[in-house]
């Protein structure tokens, strides 16, 4: 546990990957990288950007497991929400949580859209800790959380729930916000599965993207490689990560079984609830209701890695090299370096969405995201 205190500081330097400054977009005479170095020094300034994990839990597994325990402690990071039910054009519905206090009355006020991880939501600690930071001074920005269908207390109204490459709901919601708040700059932040969805959406939109900037945290990038690795029957997969994700998917199905089975597609409920991993669940449910031929087709087509080249707004990626769920081998360093709009910040440690530091075990991530948001809003 104490070995991190014995390592030299340079060992913990944040590793940046991006295109050369002369190729990056320029605003007010300043390149994207320079703007980040100036306004996000603990993330992008080589002389100040370090992430040193808490010596109490330096490894990715411990960090990730500890983060999970914090989801059930709202008193530790209190955030209140006002819930809205958003109805999509196909009749489906999803929970939309607005962080309080709402700032709708302020014309042109920025709006941050959070896209959580698989079956996650506004109750998750990574969301609450960021909202707690960004809603306070010197920021004071409005945040709204877009949940997946069938999650967080809102039942499905159609047989379709969600999948890793499903960008239609995010697109419709962003369009709604842009039309109802035309003067408000919109910034998207995605976590884990939500990071893949957000990144794919931004790439699909290209120059028409309604977001002024976006950030991705612990992105799997290559869904097929990630899911296949999670299907290997290791101890961690069987009892921790893959098992937890599969249970969350099955829970969405069992909570909405009546609506799902009433659809036109024939499904075997017993085989769905007995799925041992994500691919088995997708083979029995997801590909059938969404019209794919196989889980591999779903995973490959839903991977945001194919859309990085098309992104035309500034986008920050933060990944930990010891992430036990989104693997180092899937991080597309070369693809990110080829697109001048992208910046990748990699840390040696941090686990999956955790990033705890110090003896008091406080989160490092919220401050970095808040600084990025402010940097993008002031880069004109």
Domain boundary among 277, 302, 327: 302
**Are residue 169 and residue 216 in the same domain, yes or no?**
yes
Give the three-state DSSP class for 52.
Answer: coil
Domain boundary among 302, 331, 363: 302
**Are residue 115 and residue 63 in the same domain, yes or no?**
yes
Tell me, yes or no, if the pTM score tops 0.85. yes
Nearest CA to 323 out of 360, 281, 354 is that of 354
Domain boundary among 257, 281, 302: 302
For the chain, the domain total comes to 2
- Each residue's pLDDT, cut to its tens digit, for the chain (380 residues) gives 456 677 899 999 999 999 999 999 999 899 999 999 999 999 999 999 999 999 888 899 999 999 999 987 876 788 999 999 999 999 999 999 999 987 765 778 999 999 999 989 999 999 999 999 998 888 989 999 999 999 998 999 999 999 999 999 999 999 999 999 999 999 999 999 999 999 999 999 999 999 999 999 999 999 999 999 999 989 998 889 999 999 999 999 999 999 999 999 999 999 999 999 999 999 999 999 999 999 999 999 999 999 999 999 999 999 999 999 999 999 999 999 999 999 999 999 999 999 999 888 999 999 999 999 999 999 98
The residues, any chain, with a CB within 8 Å of residue 1's CB and separated by 6 or more, are: 55, 56, 57, 58
**Are residue 339 and residue 195 in the same domain, yes or no?**
yes
**Are residue 44 and residue 103 in the same domain, yes or no?**
yes
Strands 142-146 and 315-320: unpaired
Give the per-residue SS3 of 122-179.
CCCHHHHHHHHHHCCCCCCCEEEEECCCCCCCCCCCCCCCCCCCCCHHHHHHHHHHHH
**Are residue 148 and residue 193 in the same domain, yes or no?**
yes
Say whether 208 is catalytic: no
**Are residue 370 and residue 247 in the same domain, yes or no?**
no
**Are residue 313 and residue 228 in the same domain, yes or no?**
no
Say whether 132 is catalytic: no
Nearest CA to 243 out of 257, 253, 228, 233 is that of 233
Which of 54, 129, 148, 192 is the catalytic position? 192
Please report, for the domain that includes residue 90, its CATH number: 3.40.50.1820
CB 141 within 8 A of CB 109: yes
Tokens of 129: 């800790």
The sign of the dihedral angle between the CA atoms of 240, 243, 246, 251 is: negative
Which of 169, 222, 352, 371 is the catalytic position? 352
**Are residue 11 and residue 157 in the same domain, yes or no?**
yes
Gap between the Cα atoms of 317 and 369, Å rounded: 10
Range of the domain at 269: 223-302
Say whether 80 is catalytic: no
Which of 129, 147, 323, 371 is the catalytic position? 323
Q: Crossing angle, helix 365-378 and helix 125-134, to 10 degrees?
A: 50
**Are residue 372 and residue 259 in the same domain, yes or no?**
no
């Amino acid at each position: 546990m104490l070995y991190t205190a014995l390592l030299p500081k340079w060992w913990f330097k944040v590793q940046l990957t991006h295109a050369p400054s002369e190729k990056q977009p320029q605003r007010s005479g300043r390149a994207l990288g320079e703007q980040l170095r100036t306004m996000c020094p603990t993330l992008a300034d080589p002389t100040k950007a370090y992430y040193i994990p808490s010596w109490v839990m330096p490894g990715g597994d411990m960090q990730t497991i500890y983060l999970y325990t914090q989801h059930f402690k709202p008193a530790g990071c209190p955030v209140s929400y006002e819930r809205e039910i958003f109805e999509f054009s196909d009749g489906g519905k999803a929970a939309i949580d607005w962080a309080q206090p709402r700032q709708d009355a302020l014309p042109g006020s920025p709006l941050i859209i959070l896209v959580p991880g698989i079956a996650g939501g506004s109750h998750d600690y990574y969301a609450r800790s960021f909202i707690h930071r960004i809603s306070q001074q010197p920021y004071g920005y409005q945040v709204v959380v877009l949940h997946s269908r069938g999650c967080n207390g809102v039942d499905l109204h159609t047989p379709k729930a969600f999948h890793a490459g499903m960008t239609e709901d995010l697109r419709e919601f962003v369009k709604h916000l842009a039309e109802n708040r035309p003067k408000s700059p919109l910034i998207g932040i995605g976590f884990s599965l939500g990071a893949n969805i957000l990144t794919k959406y931004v790439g699909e939109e290209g120059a028409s993207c309604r977001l002024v900037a976006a950030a991705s945290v612990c992105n799997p990038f290559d869904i097929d490689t990630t899911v296949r690795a999670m299907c290997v029957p290791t101890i961690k997969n069987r009892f921790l990560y893959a098992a937890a994700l599969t249970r969350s998917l099955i829970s969405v199905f069992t909570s909405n079984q009546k609506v799902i089975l009433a659809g036109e597609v024939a499904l075997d409920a017993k085989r769905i609830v007995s799925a041992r991993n994500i691919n088995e669940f997708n083979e029995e449910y997801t590909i059938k209701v969404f019209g794919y031929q196989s889980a591999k087709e779903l995973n490959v087509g839903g991977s945001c890695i194919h859309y990085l080249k098309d992104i035309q707004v500034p986008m920050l990626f933060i990944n930990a090299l010891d992430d036990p769920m989104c693997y180092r081998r899937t991080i597309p360093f070369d693809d990110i370096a080829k697109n001048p709009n992208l910046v990748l910040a990699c840390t040696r440690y941090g686990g999956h969405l955790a990033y705890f530091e110090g003896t008091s075990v406080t989160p490092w991530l919220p401050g970095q995201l808040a600084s990025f948001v402010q940097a993008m809003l002031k880069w004109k």
